[in-house]
A = this chain, B = another copy of it.
Amino acid sequence: MKLSSQAQAFVLHFGEMGSRWGFNRTVGQMFALLTIHNKPVNADQLAEALKISRGNVSMGLKELQAWRLIELHHQPGDRKDYFTASGSIWDLARTVFEERRKRELDPTLTLLRQLLLTEPRDEQETEAQKKIQEVYSLLEMLDQFANTLSKLEHKDLAKLMKLGSGLNKLLDLKAGAKAKKPGK
Output the nearest chain B residue to A114 by Cβ-Cβ distance. B9
Task: Note all chain B residues with C-beta closer than 8 A to A75.
Answer: none
Cβ contact within 8 Å between A148 and B165: yes
Query: A177 vs B169: C-alpha distance in the bound complex, in angstroms?
Result: 12
Residue from the list B10, B93, B111, B173 in contact with A132, Cβ < 8 A: B10
Does chain B have a CB within 8 A of A56? Answer: no
Cβ contact within 8 Å between A107 and B17: yes
Cβ contact within 8 Å between A111 and B13: yes
| A115-B10, A118-B6, A127-B38 known; A167-B182 Cβ under 8 A | no
Does chain B have a CB within 8 A of A72? Answer: no
**Oligomer copy total:** 2
Mask, A128-166, CB within 8 Å of B = 1, is 110110110110011011011100100011011101111
Does chain B have a CB within 8 A of A26? Answer: no
| A125-B4, A166-B144 known; A9-B115 Cβ under 8 A | yes
Q: Can you name 25 A-B pairs with beta carbons within 8 Å?
A: A4-B128, A6-B115, A6-B129, A7-B128, A9-B111, A10-B111, A13-B111, A14-B108, A17-B107, A20-B103, A21-B104, A35-B135, A36-B128, A36-B132, A89-B131, A90-B138, A93-B142, A144-B164, A145-B166, A148-B167, A148-B168, A149-B167, A159-B174, A159-B175, A177-B182
* Given A88-B134, A89-B135, 12 other A-B residues pairs in contact with their CB atoms under 8 A: A7-B128, A17-B104, A17-B108, A20-B103, A89-B134, A141-B166, A144-B164, A144-B166, A145-B160, A159-B171, A159-B174, A173-B173
